[in-house]
Amino acid sequence: MRAALDILDEQGLPDLTMRRLASALGVQPSALYWHFHNKQSMLAELSDRIVSRRSRSRAESGAEAEWTAQVTTEAAALRDALLTYRDGAEVVSSTLAMGLGSTVAHDRLASAIAGGDFDDRTVDRAATAMLHFVLGHVFHEQQRMQYDSLGAVAETADGIEVEASTPATEFVFGIDLLVNGLRFSAPLPSTRD
């Protein structure tokens, strides 16, 4: 997996082939199939390694404001993990789309969201929505970084002043939007007590 991560980081997902990995390891490609049934199972293991990186320091649990901080922390930690490797978001997204790999990314987000005392269905749906946002945002961010490295320049409309933003500020805005929407949908405490 370390060799596969190195190839991914240095050359990108399109060049991460079983043949190239076998060559980097000094073995025949058929030897890899002893460990992985196919390339997709190898990518699933790679995906698990990417998202299993430890999250940032956990926020204190307890008050309503604390669960929101924990959700933000987990989302940012997932973003950091995906950005650690070239095409990290694409590897994780494609693995999840195929129903392979672990659910650790979803589970960490769900655990943080559950701190807001939501029902299980809401927790699952909110974690899924947030996971899709994080994967999509980072996928676009990594695509932009690749285009920038190739010298591609985005055209801007003439005469329109565009406020400077960064991928990090756009990410925070999106996460805050999702968290605030979730907070808005939170059940109200009972007034009958």
Q: How far apart are CA 37 and CA 44, in angstroms?
A: 11
pLDDT digits (tens, 9 = 90+) for 114-150: 999 999 999 999 999 999 999 999 999 999 888 777 7
Cβ within 8 Å of residue 33, ≥6 positions away = 18
Average pLDDT, rounded, for the chain: 86
Instruction: Indicate whether 151 belongs to any domain.
Output: yes
Instruction: Indicate whether 47 belongs to any domain.
Output: no
**75: containing domain:** 56-184
Average pLDDT of span 5-32: 92
Instruction: Indicate whether 4 belongs to any domain.
Output: no
Instruction: Indicate whether 192 belongs to any domain.
Output: no
Q: Which CATH number is 60's domain given?
A: 1.10.357.10
Q: How far is CA 49 from CA 57, 82, 123, 149, 186, in A?
A: 19, 10, 24, 26, 33
pLDDT digits (tens, 9 = 90+) for 22-69: 999 999 988 998 889 899 999 999 999 999 976 554 444 444 558 999
Determine the pLDDT at residue 18. Answer: 92
pLDDT digits (tens, 9 = 90+) for 83-121: 999 999 999 999 999 999 999 999 999 999 999 999 999
Tokens at residue 148, please? Answer: 């920038």
Q: How far apart are CA 105 and CA 82, in angstroms?
A: 11
